[in-house]
Structure 1
Amino acid sequence: MKFRITLSVAALILASSVAMAQSASDNAIELSVQDHKFTPAPLSIPADTKVKITLHNLDSSTAEFISDDFKGGKLVAGGKTASFFIGPLKSGTYEFHDEYHEASSTTQLIVK
């Protein structure tokens, strides 16, 4: 009897872990910057949710993901990758850009 209960508890823990891992991956976004332009653009994320952004800088120069509309930003050296979190944000459209190349990099973050 103890063995069955232990297996049931182990199965429940495993199912919970898988659900949490799935939930965490749903809130992770891959973003790249190349030729001073972000991809995907615009970027969409869920409202009222903390989201992990992994930024791949495919340029040789440093890029900075930054926004004047929401708190968040990250410097990424050329050829490097960095992760950071944004949100939770309310539904709406927010602007973000590469601080070093603002004119060519400005795009939108759509939160819905």
Structure 2
Amino acid sequence: MTKLLKNAALASLLLTSFATLADIPTYELVMKDHQFQPAELTIPAAQKVKLVIKNQDDNAEEFESHALHVEKIIPGNSQGFVILRPLEEGEYKFVGEFHEDKMIGHIIVK
């Protein structure tokens, strides 16, 4: 395969991946003053979702959930995202690992 064809194939794959991400419903969590806003977030069952996490504090924080099998460090004054797999109905706990004693939230799946 020529270099031009390889580059075209890679570009096509990336565009397809971005288009797929754009089709996923997006929800937002904010970390501020070592709290989650909202502390309880409702999402649909059996559907993949994108969770955008904005850290409005100066220091890094780790979004972590054993129930969701997710952990992501978000630097201070920045944002990141995680993709949540399709989930069954229920309640899933998440924490800010660096302030786990007071930084607690739940995702409610309906």
| Counterparts of residues 55-70 of structure 1 (less than 5 Å) | 55-70=53-68
Retained in 1: the 8 A contact 2:39–2:104? Answer: no
Tell me the amino acid that sits aligned with residue 60 of structure 2. T
Matched residue count: 91
CA distance in 1, matches of 2:101, 2:42: 21
CA shift for structure 1 position 83: 1.5
Tell me the amino acid that sits aligned with residue 65 of structure 2. S
Equivalence for 2:72:
74
Structure 2 residue runs without a partner (length 5+): 1-18
Report Cα offsets for 1:43-84 as digits up to 9, x if no partner. 111111111011110001111111121211211000011122
Tell me the amino acid that sits aligned with residue 91 of structure 1. E
Choose between structure 1 and 2: higher strand proportion. 2
Choose between structure 1 and 2: higher helix proportion. 1
Retained in 2: the 8 A contact 1:71–1:86? Answer: no
Q: Percent identity?
A: 35
Of 85, 90, 96, the residue aligned with 1:92 is 90
Q: Normalising by structure 2, what TM-score?
A: 0.76
For 2:94, what is the secondary structure of its paired residue?
strand
Equivalence for 1:107:
105
Retained in 2: the 8 A contact 1:54–1:83? Answer: yes
Tell me the amino acid that sits aligned with residue 23 of structure 2. A
CA shift for structure 1 position 34: 0.3
Q: Normalising by structure 1, what TM-score?
A: 0.74
Structure 1 residue runs without a partner (length 5+): 1-19
Bigger-Rg structure (1/2): 1
Q: CA RMSD in A?
A: 1.8
CA shift for structure 1 position 24: 2.5
Deviation above 6 Å: which 4+ runs of structure 1? none
Equivalence for 2:50:
52
